[in-house]
Amino acid sequence: QTVVTQEPSFSVSPGGTVTLTCGLSSGSVTTNFHPSWYQQTPGQAPRTLIYSTKTRFSGVPDRFSGSMLGNKAALTITGAQADDEADYYCVLYMGNGMMFGGGTRLTVL
Amino acid sequence: EVQLVESGGGLVQPGGSLRLSCAASGFTFSNYWMHWVRQVPGKGLVWVSRINSDGSSTNYADSVTGRFTISRDNAKNTLYLQMNSLRAEDTAVYYCTRSVQWTTIAAHWGQGSPVTVSS
């Protein structure tokens, strides 16, 4: 069974840049999957950051950006801030539903 | 402002049933695809089900097919998830989400409704 893959954890220094990726255990991610990204902090509902590869959701700062990186989708945070410390989930939209990755826990230190 | 408010969660015994509701406001409910997504505490997000704008098309994750039913009442601006034959592994927070217009992409999220299946 194909699964969506993400780095389990990542760390970045304040002010630094980090790129998280979203792949498939079998095959390549393409824009046809409309890869999207969500941020979740402890005890809160997820928040939409990026949808359809690179469209920034309403109110999301422009230091969050989405792109394709080879055969994966990518989320880049430029100028990381302390409150960017969170779990980040990507999702791929398949024919009859959608599939989330396992999430990346981002630490800012 | 888009608002999604889930209700109906709680404690239920294995094999029991529960119906979740999601009251929508701040937008024309009948124009949007809606989803249910769940999350076991401390674990990742898992898609459960989706329904198109007029309720004529539905899809389910394999893990809930045949047990859960998604529906909507566009006159009441409310989304539902009927959950039958509940199992311990259905224990999770259930989120209602609204799509981006003209797409199935989940964008707006409710605060979630916790469901616990335990004897």
Q: Which of residues 21 through 60 in chain A touch B, CB cutoff 8 A?
A: 34, 36, 38, 40, 45-48, 51-52, 57
Q: How far is CA A79 from CA A22, A49, A63, in A?
A: 21, 16, 7
Average of per-residue pLDDT across B12-21: 98
Measured in degrees and rounded to the nearest 5, phi and psi for residue B22 equal -135, 110
Q: Which residues are CB-contacts of B102 (< 8 A; sequence separation ≥ 6)?
A: none
Question: Which residues of B have a CB under 8 Å from any CB of A?
Answer: 35, 37, 44-47, 49-50, 59-61, 95, 100, 103-112
E strand or H helix at B20: strand B18-25
- Best to test chain A binding among B49, B105, B113 (most A CBs inside 10 Å): B105
pLDDT, one tens digit per residue, over A4-13 is 999 999 999 9
E strand or H helix at A88: strand A86-94
Q: Is B43 helix (H, G, I), strand (E, B) or coil?
A: coil
Q: Name the residue facing A96 among B59, B95, B103 (closest C-beta).
A: B59
Mean residue pLDDT of chain A comes to: 96
Residue written as token pair 């981006």 = B100
As given in the structure block, the two tokens for residue B101 are: 């217009």
What is the pLDDT at residue A95? 81
Q: Quote the minimal CA–CA distance from B85 to chain A in Å.
A: 22
What is the pLDDT at residue A72? 98
- Distance, CA of B84 to CA of B67 (rounded, Å): 5
What is the pLDDT at residue B51? 97
pLDDT, one tens digit per residue, over B19-75 is 999 999 999 999 999 999 999 999 999 999 999 999 999 999 999 999 999 999 999
Number of A–B residue contacts, CB under 8 Å: 58
CB count within 10 Å of CB A78 equals 14
